[in-house]
Amino acid sequence: MDVLTGNLTRLAAVNPDTDAEIIARWSRDSQFWRLAHTEPAWPVAPAYVKRKLDEDPIERPRFAIRTLTDDRLIGLIGLYTIFQAQREAFMGIQIGEREFWGKGYGTDALRVLLRYAFDELNLLRVSLSVLEGNERAARSYEKCGFCLEGRERHAWAYDGRRWDEIYMGLLREEWQALGKED
Amino acid sequence: MSYDLFTGNLVRLAALNAELDAEAIARWDVDSEYMRQLDSGPHLPNRAKKIREAIEKMQSEDPKTIELCVRSLVDDRLIGFVAFDEINWQHGDTFVAIGIGDSDYRGNGYGTDAMRVMLRFGFMELNLKRIQLDAFSYNERAIKSYLKAGFVMEGRQRGMLLRNGQRWDFVYMSVLRDEWLALNNEQRHWSES
């Protein structure tokens, strides 16, 4: 078993030279942006994306999500902030290619990332946040074992109304118990 | 008395001040007896400027090293250093190094006290699982101090060191979190695998 391979996807190193163009294209899709980020939507140029990816510290786990069937880049996933002494990380995921939405690719990539977080990095907890209204993401997180921990009310203002930011977390023991049920 | 994580019975651990402390460290490093207990490389005293640059570099960009200075409680005098080096966060393991540069303070329990404070910092604040070190077999005072602080003899690389025409061993010692908790009557607050 490869620790970075799932059933539908694998997590690979990001290649700023070849991937920046594709990632920049996703940013033109404002609906995608709303699902992938809490920050305001913002189209970015390939050169900017490449520079940002090049600046990634070598120890930061940021992965390209690639399909197993045709090795296509469809999204990004990572443990973006690691609190080393606490054995905790804050994660994020985005599926940029619309044709792969709602088909289990994100959930599959997330399961691989969690295995990496708990079995490879030996973390004690993984945290994330999701914007209110992103039901598909919240369902996927719940499927992987995350539970609701709190909400920051009216954290963001978009489209003429205000939205809560929802915080979810998964503990090592909970994740280990999930594996035993399979 | 209030409890401070960085204060022991004889010493406290404090941040190294690159500007002020490099001079003192450079003075210690002239002492070849001290350096031969500390380092296996050839004795080579460094200029304060290079030491200052090394401290600044470590403090700005190296998440694998935490170096603190040892100060006596009575007169706040800078007497040595203690450092976690090559912290391996994934496995919860680190090397620890210690040096009492001021010879007036050797053999009086200052080093052992500083090591005890450092171990508490490593296990209770950084949540490390294992702290290890290596010592040279001729440095009996240090080995005795490590045993007192809770370290256990783990192994040796025989004849690794050639000094003054004689071969000496590298001695490896470590202390595990559970051993340390038992020694210090500290509680485990969560289950670990």
Identify all chain B residues contacting A122, using CB atoms and an 8 Å cutoff.
90-92
Q: Which residue of A has its CA nearest to B193?
A: A122
Chain A: closest CA distance from residue B126 (Å): 5
Q: Is A48 annotated in the active site?
A: no
Q: What sign does the dihedral B55-A85-A83-A73 (CA atoms) show? A: positive
Q: B11-48, pLDDT tens digit by residue?
A: 999 998 888 899 888 889 888 889 989 988 888 887 88
What single string gives the DSSP state of each residue in A33-102?
HHHH-SSPP----HHHHHHHHHTS-TTS-EEEEEETTT--EEEEEEEEEEEGGGTEEEEEEEE--GGGTT
Distance of CA A80 to the CA centre of its chain: 9
How many angstroms away from the CA of B145 is the closest CA of chain A? Answer: 27
Q: Alpha carbon B147 to chain centroid distance?
A: 14
Residue B193: its chain A contacts at CB < 8 A? Answer: 172, 176
Phi, psi of B47 (to 5 degrees): -75, 150
- Give φ, ψ of B81 to 5 degrees: -140, 160
Q: Indicate whether B193 pLDDT > 60.
A: no
Ordered structural domains, chain B, with CATH: 11-183 (3.40.630.30)
CA dihedral B77, B173, B54, B114 (to 10 degrees): -20
The rounded distance, in Å, linking the Cα atoms of B130 and B176 is 5
Nearest CA in chain B to A176: B193
Give me the amino acid identity at A48.
Y
How far off is chain B from A117, nearest CA to CA, in Å? Answer: 10
**N-term to C-term CA, chain A:** 16
Please report the pLDDT score of residue B1 as a whole number.
Answer: 47
> Distance (Å) from the C-alpha of residue B96 to the closest C-alpha of chain A?
16
Taking CA atoms, what residue in A is nearest to B127? A85
Which listed residue (B34, B105, B110, B146) is catalytic?
B146
The share of chain B scoring above pLDDT 90, in percent, equals 66
Instruction: Give per-residue pLDDT as tens, A116-128.
Output: 999 999 999 999 9
pLDDT in tens, A37-47: 998 998 999 99
Q: Residues 71 to 130 of B: which have CB under 8 A from any A CB?
A: 87, 89-92, 125-127
| Ordered structural domains, chain A, with CATH | 9-181 (3.40.630.30)
Strand-pair partners of B167: B162
Q: Which of B126, B191, B193 sits opposite A85 (nearest CB)?
A: B126
Q: What pLDDT, in 10s, does the model give residues A66-113?
A: 999 999 999 999 999 999 999 999 999 999 999 999 999 999 999 999
What are the C-alpha distances in Å from B157 to residues A131, B38, B135, B137?
Answer: 57, 17, 11, 10
Backbone phi, psi, residue B165, to 5°: 75, 10
Nearest Cα neighbor of A159 from A128, A137, A133, A129 is A133
Interface residues on A facing B, Cβ-Cβ cutoff 8 A: 59, 82, 84-87, 120-122, 124, 172-173, 176
Which of A122, A124, A175, A180 should be substituted to probe chain B, the one whose Cβ sees the most B Cβ atoms within 10 Å? A122
pLDDT at B192 over 70: no
Contact A52, A20 (CB under 8 A): no
Predicted pLDDT at B191: 53
Q: Where are the alpha helices (H) located in B65-139, listed in sequence order?
A: 110-120
CA distances from residue B67 to B50, B58, B60, B63, B81 in whole angstroms, order as listed: 16, 8, 12, 11, 7
